[in-house]
Amino acid sequence: MSQQLESALTSIVDALLPLIRQFARGDYGIALGGAHAKGIEDHESDVDLYLFAKEVLPGEERARLCEQFGGGIQSVVSWGVDAPFVQGGTDFYFEGTKVECWLRNTDYISSIVNDCKLGIVRRTFVTWTVMGFYNHCTLSDLYNMVPVEDPAGILARWKAAVSEYPPKLQETIIGDHLRAARFWPENFHYRSAVARCDVIYTVGIVQQVVHNLIQVVFALNRTYFPGDKKLGVALDHLAVKPEGFAGRIERLLMPGTGRDRDTLDGQRAELVELTRQVEELVSKRECDDNRA
């Protein structure tokens, strides 16, 4: 285990390795992921373990192995489709700590890496993430993960492949999300919704624009988008962004409790201004790239 990991976490991971290894058939790689790998864990964080392999045991067999492993494991839940295996999981509590073991097909992950390098972005709407799951979030996982066991060198190859942010991925994300962000701030239907104080509609618009601007800012910084959780912390670490970006987003999303036109007008005006500032940052990047 890496020396950077806390001793308590190291003990949990080391204790579970003999179990997690059994889930795989053939070559495999095991890594620590999630908040602990990114260094943003808190007292609410679980332990995320990634297992990569071409084939894994069916969910029922994984659950049985967990139950046979010892008294420290409780509340086992296996999920995902067994065949064809793309991704799935086996989650449980180990000595009171929530552990999520996410299993992923190695060929599937390699195809995502290759697509992202070509600038191909895919978005899947799933219930467990607010704005949908983007394939390039996988690159964030690979970039941040801490390899635990990598006997076939699978994880090392992926870490090398994602060590530099792909230029074509940056181009696609900025282009697509900036176009989407521009659609709403001056849109007639948004303005009319503000005039009639249609809060349900305006809230959806604001969240959509904010999300698109966040995607653009991550790409400007050549930083992989990490997913929806703890974005405020991640945004604070980005160098290129409008001043006070994270705080302004929070105020946009929670402008007050009043359902009045003045509040919604002010919200829209701030959305217009924030979009303009992100556009300026994109223009500056393009000018800098042309000079280079």
Please report whether residue 1 resides in a domain.
Answer: no
Please report whether residue 47 resides in a domain.
Answer: yes
> Of 128, 161, 194, at which residue does a domain stop?
161
Q: Quote the CA–CA distance of 119 and 136 in Å, as a whole number.
A: 10
pLDDT tops 90 at residue 94: yes
The alpha carbon torsion through 158, 164, 167, 170 (nearest 10 deg) reads: 90
The residue-averaged pLDDT of 103-129 equals 95
The residue-averaged pLDDT of 55-70 equals 94
Q: Is 4 exposed, middle or buried (0-12, 13-18, 19+ CB in 10 A)?
A: exposed
Q: Quote the CA–CA distance of 18 and 22 in Å, as a whole number.
A: 7
CA distances from residue 77 to 24, 28, 74, 86 in whole angstroms, order as listed: 17, 22, 9, 18
Q: Do 17 and 95 have their domain in common?
A: yes
Helix 245-253 vs helix 199-220: angle between axes, to the nearest 10 degrees?
160
Strand partners, 134: 123
pLDDT tops 80 at residue 146: yes
Q: Do 11 and 153 have their domain in common?
A: yes
The residue-averaged pLDDT of 130-154 equals 95
Please report whether residue 292 resides in a domain.
Answer: no
> Which residues are within 8 A (CB) of 203 and not within 5 positions of it... i.e. 6 or more apart?
none
The residue-averaged pLDDT of 123-149 equals 93
* Contact in structure between 273 and 208 (CB atoms under 8 Å): no
For residue range 258-292, what is the model confidence (pLDDT) as tens digits? Answer: 678 999 999 999 999 999 999 999 999 888 887 76
Strand partners, 175: none
Please report whether residue 2 resides in a domain.
Answer: no
pLDDT at residue 292, as a whole number: 67
The residue-averaged pLDDT of 173-183 equals 98
* Residues of the chain above pLDDT 70, percent: 97
pLDDT at residue 1, as a whole number: 43
Domain count, the chain: 2
Residue 149's CB is within 10 A of a number of other CB atoms, namely: 16
> Of 132, 161, 190, at which residue does a domain stop?
161
Tell how strand 47-56 and strand 97-105 pair up: parallel
pLDDT tops 50 at residue 257: yes
The residue-averaged pLDDT of 213-226 equals 97
Q: For residue 39, what is the DSSP state?
A: T
Average pLDDT along the chain:
93
Range of the domain at 22: 7-161
The residue-averaged pLDDT of 20-43 equals 91
Q: Please provide residue 93's backbone torsions phi and psi, each rounded to the nearest 5 degrees.
A: -105, 135
pLDDT at residue 208, as a whole number: 96
Q: Do 140 and 175 have their domain in common?
A: no
pLDDT tops 60 at residue 126: yes
* Contact in structure between 2 and 149 (CB atoms under 8 Å): no
pLDDT tops 50 at residue 118: yes
Q: Please provide residue 261's backbone torsions phi and psi, each rounded to the nearest 5 degrees.
A: -65, -35
